[in-house]
Structure 1
Amino acid sequence: MKPKSLLKGGFWITFGTFATRFFSLISSLVLARLLSPKEFGVIGIVYVFWSFFTLFTQDTAGAFIIYKGVEDPHFLNAAYTVSLSIGLIFAFIMVAVSPLVGNFFNEPSVTQLLIAFSLNIVLSSLYYVYTGVMTRQMQYRELANISLISGVARLLSTIISAVLGLSYWSFAIGDTTGWITGCILAKHYSGRRYRIKLLPEVRDEVVSYCLATVKSNLGFYANANLDNFAVGKFLGSAMLGYYSLAYQLTMALSTVFNSVISQLGMPIFAQLSDDKQQEDVLYKVVEQIAFLTAPLYALFFLIINENSIALIFGSKWIPIATIIPWLLVFAYFRVINTPLNNMLSAKGLPKVNAKVNLHIAPIAVIGFVVGAHTGGILGVSIAVALILGIGWTLYWWWMGCKVLGWSLKKFLIPCFTPTFITIPALALSFYLPFVFRPILFTLIYFVGVYVISPSQFCKYRVLATQAKDWIISKRAGNSS
């Protein structure tokens, strides 16, 4: 893929994902104003279990399509059949266990909400197949359009429902509207015909890949969601409401970056046949992502304080200010680990991701429980930063490099170097007046990059020039 096409594809993915997160953030902002922390906590419980069931549909059959390609209709139909079957099975399971979940948390409304969300399990099983085909075909502009339109549909239906006084049902109505819209558009844009057909000669390969991906997703789910479970169970719905909003805010950027990396990176990684070329490409991707995201998360930390939270969300949400810095640590390393996850999947090794995630999950759960009992939501967020931020990163790269036969040191240097540059920049700018913090931090950070990594400083300039030239060319093309 040519650099200009790569930049163009990255732009459309970023645009689509940013639009989705922007609409989601606006939705959260409106609902935070209209709902109480307890009501936010109720929907937080629902999303914990909704996220669990989507493990079996998200990035399973779709990831297989990206890995295998769309040329053979037998594999495509098999992936479609497996994904739809899984969606239907787990929708019924979700309905069956919903009363147990409601009783466990002593929240009867959770039962009704989970039943409503079961339809979205089926919709997601179809959506990820369609978007998997589109991603493999690199239809990034169409994917961006789908994200934009479905995001608008979700936002409008959510806000209208909330204004009408439907409380946490606004989330269910908005999400279902978004999934239906996305499915209709994705099926149309993918341009493929899908049949329920599972031939024996392709079944084993499809099922094996999907099972390995599900195992990886299970571990990732435990790592990324059971902190919410621990907060909801041991600290109550109100505390989960605080934690959920802080989590949504800090993960907004990482969701955008992870989507860009996955949709753009995995198809490219899958088409690289040379092992050395894959290693070099992965190194460059990690290096650029680390130097891009580290200062962005640091700036987020500088501008989000009690005053800005009270101004945006209301004074009732001020307690989230203490946990945001720790969740930002996890958000940064989550982005850094995504390229390795994609590379292993692209090389047909999702079982390595599964092993890493399942190994770290028990340690993470223990950390969440201990953190909840000793420090409340702050204790949980510290456990997330230390175990899922630093510990998970070290272990994942060690395991990945060991399996691939690549140098661990080579990849850890770009992972951690930008963080070491941001620390003094943060320390020197933190106690300045609010308006001057971002300015001084940016200056100190770029000076640090220039001193410690002059080659990266030159890359900043090259990337800025390429982006500027592409924008100018687009404007010239539109005007003509």
Structure 2
Amino acid sequence: MGLANDFKKGIFFSALGKYSNVVIQLIVNAVLSRILTPEDYGIVAVVNVFLIFFQMLVDFGIGPAIIQNKTLDKNDIKNIFAFSIYLAIFLGILFMFLGYPISIFYQDDVYIPISIILGICVVFYALLVVPQSILLREKKFSSVNMITVLANLLSGLISIVLAFAGFKYYSLIIGNIVKAFVMFLVFFLQSKVKLQFKTGKESLMKIYSFSKNQFAFNFINYFSRNLDKMLIGRFMSPSAVAYYDKAYQVSLYPNQTLTNVITPVIQPIMSEYETDKQRIKNVYLKITLVLGIIGVPLSVFLFFSASEVILFLFGNQWGNSVMTFQILSVSVWVQMISSSTGSIYQSANRTDLLLLSGVLSAITNITSIFIGVYFGRIEYVAIMIVISFGINFLMNNYLLMYRLFESSYAEYFKVLIKPFVIGAIQLIGFLLLPYLHYSVFINLFIKCGLFVILFIIGILVTGQIKLFKGIISKQ
């Protein structure tokens, strides 16, 4: 019962935190999207691509390595934290100067002052890695999630106030800095990690073999996940980036509300069973079943409700995001299931396979993005991204089922039969739904109602009603 209880406790607090954060983000985005212009969002979307890159650099694979390695003592933690301080200062200063090459690449000097300000944000994101990982290692999921909720709430409120005051895109940037600072400060106080400036090579070597593969995967995955926005911003326009980014971000909401509730608790709990491959495989297949049952029908719903979702959330000025979101919605279920695989590799201490999956995914993603950008429309980029996600899904599960678990596709895809049956019921229902002539809100309300009814019918037909009484049962 220990494993089951750990999962249920972790998922409960993770869900509480994630759902709170998503509600906050939806409200803040709904307000800001009606104050700021697509051009404002486009400028921030461009610089966020580089901010995400530096957030990946500041982690350096240290976070997952701290969670996985149970031999680290307090002295090791202090040494690793000292290293992260020097890394934070170096990367923060580096980011401040990054605005100059960015401004040359995008032919706009606006990125110079933005990068200088966001250098502060990079420092705080680097400093919070170790304290946050300590709390996750100790399975303090409630603390981590509540702190994140608090940071997002303060960040959102400040961004809205600044947007009303006419700060334009700076309202988003300053809000991000506030979020990073609050998270670092509270994580640091909660974790009680000791501050020192002397680091130790021995401590770093304890996590090197794990963190090097994790870092390499993050590095490769970054480019395969963000090259689309970089190239759209360079060869199309800031507005095109904004429309694409808005659609892409909404397509990630199911991950934020559903998948990301489960995945943060997988490695902290399953790292204790890294040699028990059968147990890890059983957990992965159960997670796949749960995410598939939710994700496949949700993809169908979002495809048929794309216009209502975008216009309801952000207003009529974001109509150019609708078709892109409709295309990306096809891959929602794939993204949901795939997002859990990284934690499975980590739990089995196979970051070498994680790295290999990242390399293969990067090849398909980058190739697809270049093809989409070549055709000159964000819709073509979205189509190619969906194709790439599908290919990566097959390759990733080959590595898991054949290389890690020594099983087969047959065992894996057998789990997806019932989710596809539920998805087929949704598809038939929405195809039979007549054209609705009401307001955006009424149309969305009707389609949401139909989705719920068809979903209930689906889980009854497939006999999966008991699944939602206990996601993870006794192993």
TM-score, with structure 2 as normaliser = 0.89
CA distance in 2, matches of 1:108, 1:215: 32
Of all paired residues, the percent bearing the same amino acid is 19
> 1:150-171 deviations in whole A, cap 9, x for unaligned?
1111011111111110111111
- CA deviations 1:29-74 (Å, max 9, x no partner) are 2221112111211111001111111112347211111101375124
Other-structure match for 1:399: 399
> In the TM superposition, what are the counterparts of 1:328-347 in structure 2 within 5 Å?
328-347=329-348
Q: Match of 1:193, SS? A: coil
Indicate if the aligned counterparts of 2:6 and 2:269 stay in contact, CA closer than 8 A. Answer: no
Q: Distance in 2 between matches of 1:120 and 1:315?
A: 32
**Equivalent pair of 2:277/2:348 in contact (CA under 8 Å):** no
> Where in structure 2 are the equivalents of 1:18-97 lying within 5 Å?
18-58=19-59, 60-69=61-70, 72-97=73-98
- Is this contact kept in 2: 1:212–1:354, CA < 8 A? yes
Specify the alignment match of 2:466 in structure 1: 458
The match for 2:440 is none
Structure 1 distance, partners of 2:397, 2:28, is 36
Is 1:17 aligned with 2:18?
A: yes
Deviation per CA, 1:349-392: give whole Å up to 9, x if none: 2232222212221332221122123260110111111102x111
Give the paired residue count.
460
Amino acid at match of 2:17: G
How far did residue 416 of structure 1 move? Answer: 6.7
Superposed displacement of residue 130, structure 1: 1.1
Q: Structure 1 residues 446 and 322, CA, compared in 2 at 3 Å: closer, same or farther?
A: same
TM-fit CA distance, 1:258: 4.2
State how far apart, in whole Å, the 1-side matches of 2:347 and 2:196 are.
25
How much does 1:308 deviate? 5.1
Query: Aligned pair in 2 of structure 1 residues 344, 311: CA closer, same or farther (>3 Å)?
Result: closer
Change (3 A) 1:208 1:92: farther
**CA distance in 2 between partners of 1:200 and 1:208 (Å):** 13
Tell me, what secondary structure is at the counterpart of 1:33? Answer: coil
Q: Show the counterpart of 1:476.
A: none
For residues 79-103 of structure 1, the C-alpha deviation after alignment (integer angstroms, 9 at most, x for no partner) is: 3234333333322322233201111
Contact 1:70–1:136 (Cα < 8 Å) also in 2: no
| 8 Å contact kept, 2:266–2:347 | no
The equivalent of 1:126 in structure 2 is 127
Answer yes or no: is the 8 Å Cα contact 1:99–1:111 preserved in 2: yes
Distance of aligned partners of 1:115 and 1:332 in 2 relative to their CA distance in 1, 3 Å threshold: farther
Counterpart in the other structure of 1:438: 448
Q: Distance in 2 between matches of 1:105 and 1:347?
A: 42
- Which of 298, 301, 315 is the matching residue for 2:300? 298
- Distance, in Å, in 1 between the alignment partners of 2:21 and 2:452 is 27
Contact 1:397–1:408 (Cα < 8 Å) also in 2: no
TM-score (norm 1): 0.88
Matched residues in 2 for 1:359 and 1:195: separation?
40
Distance 1:82 1:400, change over 3 A: farther
Q: Aligned AA for 1:285?
A: I
CA separation of 1:67/1:5 partners in 2, compared to 1, >3 Å: closer, same or farther?
Answer: closer
Shift of 1:312: 4.0
* Displacement of 1:134: 0.7
Residue-by-residue CA offset, 1:110-144 (whole Å, 9 max, x unaligned): 12212211111221112121111111111111112
Equivalent residues in 2 for 1:244-263, closer than 5 Å: 244-263=245-264
The aligned runs of 1:151-230 (5 Å cut-off) are 151-230=152-231
Per-residue CA deviation, residues 303-347 of structure 1 (Å, 9 max, x unaligned), is 431x55334422221111111122223443222123321121122
Match for 1:292: what amino acid? I
Q: 5+ unaligned residues in a row in structure 1: which ranges?
A: 467-480
Aligned alpha-carbon RMSD (Å): 2.4
Residue deviations 1:235-258, cap 9 Å, x none?
Answer: 111111111111222212213434
Note the C-alpha offset of 1:107.
1.9
Q: 1:196, 1:328 → 2: CA distance?
A: 48
Where in structure 2 are the equivalents of 1:266-305 lying within 5 Å? 266-272=267-273, 273-305=275-307
Letter in 1 for 2:380: G
Alignment of 1:351 onto 2:352: yes
Question: Secondary structure of the residue that 1:107 maps to in structure 2?
Answer: coil
Are the counterparts in 1 of residues 289 and 415 from structure 2 also a CA contact under 8 Å?
yes
Given that residues 216 and 354 in structure 1 are in contact (C-alpha distance below 8 angstroms), is that contact kept between their aligned partners in structure 2? yes
Alpha carbons of structure 1 residues 8 and 371: separation in structure 2 relative to 1, 3 Å: same
TM-superposition CA deviations, 1:5-35 (whole Å, max 9, x none): 5323212111212222322222222221112
Measured in 1, the distance between the counterparts of 2:163 and 2:173 equals: 11
CA distance in 2, matches of 1:419, 1:104: 45
The aligned amino acid for 1:458 is: K
Please name the residue that 2:439 is paired with. none
| Residue ranges of structure 2 left out of the alignment (5+ in a row) | 437-442
CA distance in 2 between partners of 1:20 and 1:438 (Å)? 22
The answer as to whether partners of 1:302 and 1:438 remain within 8 angstroms in 2 is: no
Match of 2:422 in 1: 421
